[in-house]
């Protein structure tokens, strides 16, 4: 017998609740698999970088790998446009399914690419092609998944449910680190990892991506998109998107500081604690794993808080604490030698970075009407990430190579401060949301 749960003056069918939760789970897990594939590159770069960038200086090896990492972000704006168009024109489900198929293809290429010793300069070129495909995929994944999770959730809990985008995004990196820990400590020696073991995580990623694509084919389309489609307003048109210049600029402004901080305390941290702090490979892996686990736990807590007090207070907290706290945290972190102290310092950074990561997806989704939401969220975000997020590891390592690593700390603080100015002037999207509009 079908039961109902009463909420306020309305009734929510429990079958509908289960459908929403299942859709959120599938959408979130697909996001995890995509980001696992993407972060496997970073997690294993310490092992395979010498195979593709044969330099005597380990910092130069990592710089080359980081520059390639940044180059993949150049494809993200194109991915944001392409998959945003598909999501707004043909549906969020199709966009999400196609994006994970692209990620599968990129991961497979990395898994089978010969090294520099075997095919020379063609090796890093093929590696770059694979990463560009993955960048294209992620460029589309963010906008489509942010839109899907925000639309599938009930209005009272959009902040909480959309926060799972970053739970699974961070979860993707955690999964990559778990694979790294198992290979490092259980299944392979360090020499085996350097010789051929680094290929294993990319094979795993490709298999998981295939499984996810099959799961996503069975996802329910969102009611918001169906309503927009039936009314003839589903467009995916850049021309219509340009009718919202203020919203587009807001996405760029509110993303800049957050994405730079996010990639600093996730992607770059593994290299930083290894090369600058001087921890061993195992200590580095454990510190990063623990801090990312802490970060993932913060996301739904902050998301739920935003449902009660609004989005703007959390953004302001990130902006103020990030501007004032980044330099002291990174400066102290550089001088410590204890893995536990390093862990605590990175967790301290996450206390304010989560103010951005937990709610940035729903804030952007609440800015745009349904007909241009996937592209409106994905395209300007991808452009900003390409400029400030993907380049963060390369910029940090460049400062290190010229002997002024601490300059990066001030660079990061300055970008966060610029975003703080945007946060202080924007309206709280929880109270001015466009989620109810379909045009």
Ranges of each domain in the chain: 19-232+241-425
Q: Write the pLDDT tens digit of every residue in 242-258.
A: 888 898 999 999 999 99
Rounded Cα distance between 37 and 104, Å, is: 8
Per-residue pLDDT, 209: 83
Q: Write the pLDDT tens digit of every residue in 146-163.
A: 888 888 777 788 888 888
pTM score: 0.82
- Which range scores top for mean pLDDT: 46-50, 94-98, 385-389, 422-426? 422-426
Mean pLDDT of 121-133: 82
Higher pLDDT among residues 43 and 196, named by residue: 196
Residues in Cβ contact with 418 at an 8 Å cutoff, skipping those fewer than 6 apart: 253, 256, 257
pLDDT over 80 at 409, yes or no:
yes
Per-residue pLDDT, 64: 66
Q: Write the pLDDT tens digit of every residue in 360-390.
A: 888 998 888 878 888 888 889 888 988 888 7
Mean pLDDT of 182-196: 84
- Asked if residue 390 lies in contact with residue 76, where contact means CB atoms within 8 angstroms, the answer is yes
Rounded Cα distance between 338 and 278, Å, is: 10
Strands (DSSP E) found in 102-200 = none
Q: Which of 302, 306, 300, 296 is nearest to 265 (CA)?
A: 296
Per-residue pLDDT, 5: 42
Rounded Cα distance between 164 and 166, Å, is: 5
Please spell the DSSP secondary structure of 10-54, one letter per residue: EEEEHHHHHHHHHHHHHHHHHHHHHHHHHHHHHHTHHHHHHHHS-
Q: Which of 314, 298, 359, 294 is nearest to 153 (CA)?
A: 359
Higher pLDDT among residues 62 and 263, named by residue: 263
pLDDT over 80 at 73, yes or no:
no
Task: Please state whether beta strands 10-13 and 4-7 pair in parallel, antiparallel, or not at all (unpaired).
Answer: antiparallel
Binning pLDDT at 50, 70 and 90, where does residue 291 land? very high
* CATH numeric code, 19-232+241-425: 1.20.1250.20
How many CB atoms sit inside 10 A of residue 328's CB?
13
- Asked if residue 151 lies in contact with residue 223, where contact means CB atoms within 8 angstroms, the answer is yes
Per-residue pLDDT, 160: 87
Higher pLDDT among residues 19 and 146, named by residue: 146
Average predicted confidence (pLDDT) for the chain = 82
Token digits of residue 335: 């001088």
Mean pLDDT of 225-247: 75
Lowest pLDDT segment from 66-70, 90-94, 280-284, 298-302: 66-70
pLDDT over 70 at 70, yes or no:
no
**What is the number of alpha carbons within 13 Å of residue 42 lying toward its C-beta?**
34
């Amino acid at each position: 017998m079908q039961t109902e749960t009463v909420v306020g003056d309305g009734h929510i069918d429990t079958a509908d609740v289960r459908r929403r939760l299942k859709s959120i789970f599938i959408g979130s897990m697909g996001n995890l698999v995509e980001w696992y594939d993407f972060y496997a590159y970073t997690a294993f770069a310490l092992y395979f970088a010498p195979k593709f960038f044969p330099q005597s200086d380990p910092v130069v090896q990592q710089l080359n790998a980081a520059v390639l990492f940044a180059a993949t972000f150049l494809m993200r704006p194109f991915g944001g446009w392409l998959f945003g168009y598909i999501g707004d024109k043909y549906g969020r489900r199709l966009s999400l399914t196609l994006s994970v198929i692209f990620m599968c293809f990129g991961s497979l290429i990395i898994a089978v690419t010969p090294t520099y010793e075997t095919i020379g300069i063609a090796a890093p070129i093929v590696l770059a092609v694979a990463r560009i495909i993955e960048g294209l995929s992620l460029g589309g994944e963010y906008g489509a998944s942010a839109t899907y999770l925000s639309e599938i959730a009930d209005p009272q809990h959009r902040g909480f449910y959309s926060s799972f985008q970053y739970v699974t995004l961070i979860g993707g990196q955690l999964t990559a680190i778990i694979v790294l820990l198992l290979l490092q400590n259980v299944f392979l020696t360090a020499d085996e990892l350097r010789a051929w073991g680094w290929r294993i995580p990319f094979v795993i990623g490709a298999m998981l991506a295939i499984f996810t694509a099959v799961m996503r084919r069975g996802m329910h389309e969102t009611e918001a998109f169906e309503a927009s489609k039936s009314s003839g307003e589903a467009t995916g048109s850049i021309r219509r998107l340009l009718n919202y210049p203020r919203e587009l600029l807001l996405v760029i402004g509110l993303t800049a500081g957050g994405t730079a901080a996010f990639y600093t305390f996730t992607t770059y941290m593994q290299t930083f604690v290894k090369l600058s702090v001087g921890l061993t490979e195992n200590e580095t892996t454990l510190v990063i794993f623990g801090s990312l686990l802490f970060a993932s736990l913060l996301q739904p807590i902050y998301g739920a808080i935003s449902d009660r007090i609004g989005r703007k207070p959390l953004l302001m907290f990130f902006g103020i604490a990030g501007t004032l706290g980044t330099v002291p945290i990174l400066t102290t972190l550089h001088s410590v030698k204890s893995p536990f102290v390093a862990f605590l310092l990175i967790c301290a950074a996450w206390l304010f970075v989560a103010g951005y990561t937990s709610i940035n997806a729903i804030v952007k989704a609440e800015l745009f009407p349904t007909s241009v939401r996937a592209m409106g969220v994905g395209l300007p975000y991808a452009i900003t990430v390409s400029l400030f997020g993907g380049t963060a590891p390369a910029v940090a390592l460049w400062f290190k190579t010229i002997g002024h690593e601490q300059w990066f700390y001030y660079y990061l603080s300055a970008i966060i401060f610029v975003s703080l100015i945007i946060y202080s002037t924007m309206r709280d999207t929880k109270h001015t949301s466009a989620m109810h509009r379909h045009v």
